[in-house]
Amino acid sequence: EDKVVQSPLSLVVHEGDTVTLNCSYEVTNFRSLLWYKQEKKAPTFLFMLTSSGIEKKSGRLSSILDKKELFSILNITATQTGDSAIYLCAVGGNTPLVFGKGTRLSVIA
């Protein structure tokens, strides 16, 4: 059975800190790994990774995939209160996207 595990489940940091969110997976016929940010209701797309070792960056956010070790990390540098959200990791394999339970990030001023 395909499985996606995110850690930690929740995290509280101060503004300006750097955070690393983890996502490990076991899926058959891996195709892609996606990160989403969910602030209120609608998850919004952040990154899609398909190749190992290639970092995707968008401003203060970056992500990298390790297909050998079956995990990905999402880094957020110089965190701001607006980064407070649930971060979801999803993996595409033989089945439709399988989501992890998410990491709830709280950034306090």
Least distance from another protein to the Cβ atom of residue 55, Å: 17
Asked if 61 is part of the footprint of another protein (rule: CB under 8 A), the reply reads no
Position among 10, 101, 106, 108 found at the interface with another protein (CB under 8 A): 101
Least distance from another protein to the Cβ atom of residue 92, Å: 4
Asked if 97 is part of the footprint of another protein (rule: CB under 8 A), the reply reads yes
How does 75-107 read in b/e, with b if 16+ C-beta sit within 10 Å?
A: ebeebeeebbbbbbbbbbbeeebbebebbebeb
Q: Whole-angstrom Cα distance, residue 90 to residue 73? A: 12
**At which residue do the structure tokens 């203060």 appear?**
60
Query: Using CB under 8 A, which of the segments 14-22, 60-68, 70-78, 88-96 binds another protein?
Result: 88-96
First to last CA, the chain: 41
Query: Using CB under 8 A, which of the segments 12-20, 38-46, 54-62, 74-82 binds another protein?
Result: 38-46
- The H-assigned helical ranges of the chain are none
Residues lying near another protein in the complex (CB under 8 A) are found at 31-32, 34, 36, 40-45, 48, 50, 88, 90, 92, 94-102
